[in-house]
């Protein structure tokens, strides 16, 4: 399986801001960001998927779960990983790449190629927004906790 790696530059200040957040909050901020931005690729893949029964298009998802077979094939490289595509059913792979009896009908790869750069650019903006929202939530929580302590 071919693997692509991307390096996004200019995120140093966002990375520092993430480290200032509690670990669980930072993880959730990253998950929300990646899921929101990855949805564009899933939507494009769904639109490009062959519509024989419509089941393939309906199976597109953005999430953190993999099948057992996919878990064995993919080494986890980060604390936060999001996967985009149809369900792991063998027919979805064979539709994408073809086999001896079926010509390939790519849908995920063209969706990825068409949207990856806008998604990577959107991650910066969405991540900054999510970090600010998390900071505001933490500040409100700190105010509530301080008010409770003063009330006692």
Per-residue HEC secondary structure of the chain comes to: CCCCCCCCCCCHHHHHHHHHCCHHHHHHHHHHHHHHHHHHHHHHHHHHCCCCCCHHHHCCEEECCCCHHHHHHCCCCCCCCCEEECCCCHHHHHHHHCECCECCCCCHHHHHHHHHHHHHHHHHHHHHHHHHHHHHHHHHHHHHHHHHHHHC
Domain boundaries defined on the chain: 23-139
pLDDT tens, residue order, the chain (152 aa): 566 777 777 788 888 899 999 999 999 999 999 999 999 999 999 999 988 888 888 889 999 988 888 888 888 888 899 999 888 777 888 888 899 999 999 999 999 999 999 998 899 899 999 999 999 999 999 999 998 888 87
pTM of the model: 0.82
């Amino acid at each position: 399986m071919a693997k692509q790696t991307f390096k996004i530059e200019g995120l140093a200040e966002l990375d520092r801001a993430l480290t200032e957040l509690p670990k669980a909050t930072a993880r959730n901020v990253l998950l929300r960001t990646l899921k929101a931005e990855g949805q564009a690729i899933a939507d494009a893949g769904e639109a490009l998927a062959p519509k024989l029964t419509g089941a393939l298009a309906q199976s597109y998802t953005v999430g953190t779960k993999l099948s057992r077979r996919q878990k064995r094939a993919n080494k986890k490289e980060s604390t936060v990983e999001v996967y985009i595509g149809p369900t792991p059913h063998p027919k979805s792979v064979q539709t994408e790449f073809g086999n001896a009896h079926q010509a390939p009908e790519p849908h995920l790869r063209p969706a990825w190629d068409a949207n990856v750069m806008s998604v990577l650019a959107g991650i910066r903006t969405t991540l900054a927004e999510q970090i600010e929202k998390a900071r505001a939530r933490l500040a409100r929580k700190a105010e509530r906790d301080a008010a409770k302590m003063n009330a006692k």
